[in-house]
Amino acid sequence: MAEKKFTILDLINLELSGYDALNLKCVAGRRGLSRELSNTSINRPGLGLCGFFDFFPRHRIQLFGSGEVAYLNKLYAERRTDTIRQFFTYDIPCCVFSLSQEPTLDFLEIAEEVSCAILITDLEPSEFMARLARIFSNIFAPRKTLHGVFVEVYGVGIMLGGHSGVGKSETALELVERGHRLVADDIVEIRCVNGNMVLGRGANTLISHHMEIRGLGIINVAQLYGVGAIREQKEVQLVINLEEWNSEKIYDRIGTAQETVNLLGVEIPTINIPVRPGRNLPIIIEAAAMNMRLKKMGYNSARDFNQNVLRWMEMGDAQAAYYGTEDYY
């Protein structure tokens, strides 16, 4: 299925607030609101208004600041519209005027003729560019869906994976009971933002905070445990694979070698936890989350343990214990 096009009208209709709000309104060229945004960069069209169109980035949003508006007023006073008409011969997505500045009448008339949307915002040019860059990095970010359960444990975003029926949802439910938060169950949508951060959330925001517990059915975590037990999205910082215990497999017992998994081009730390009756998976996952936080603070328990063992062997205590006459049971 082809991806849905993102148009100028979609940009205006985005439900944004706070430091992400663009405060856009259309004052002319409404027939051009259906034009597609295919380039996430922004251009200041000063050179184009002066008549220099070599290497003109026509596929970008054209942002007008105080300097461009002052030059438009100069052209309007001199009755010169040739460069403006030449400017609109290019198939540009739209024009945005910052600081609530309004374009000249001839500019609006020509924009209506060619059906190019003219937008106005009260933001400064630099602030508008910064906000639009954040929005575009989210909208056009590479994304995919994964089967698993995504939880936040001690501030660490953990993706629980494994075969169906291994106990992912039950483990996540116990973590919620212990005060941690659920991000999504069953189908998780991940997207790479800024090229180095993987964010995860429910693929369907309407049902992402519902869980399927075999033998119990569907439960609403937000209704049962309150809104404090859920979160809309979180960075994926650790991937934990739950697998059936295999007595013939050699599991890592020290943890000096850190394995990673590639998610959308970003290497994410991963660990494999064998599942069998009697193992307390929630407390193991809590320990993994705290150990991950310690590693980010510069402390590695496995590496410190390995160094202490080497130091103990160098001191000769190991040889004395090995060759001693006492028997140990």
- Known catalytic residues? 147, 168, 186, 253
Q: Name the β-bridge partners of 187.
A: 147
9 burial type by CB count under 10 A (0-12 exposed, 13-18 middle, 19+ buried): middle
Cα(109)–Cα(111) distance, integer angstroms: 5
Cα(147)–Cα(94) distance, integer angstroms: 39
Is residue 88 left, alpha or beta, with left meaning phi > 0 and alpha meaning psi from -120 to 50?
A: alpha
Query: What is the end-to-end Cα distance of the chain in Å, rounded?
Result: 67
The token duo for 295 is 């590693």
Cα(68)–Cα(65) distance, integer angstroms: 5
What sign does the CA torsion over 37, 41, 42, 46 have?
A: negative
- Cβ-based neighbour number of residue 210 at 10 Å: 18
Cα(307)–Cα(314) distance, integer angstroms: 11
Residue type for position 155: G
Cα(19)–Cα(124) distance, integer angstroms: 13
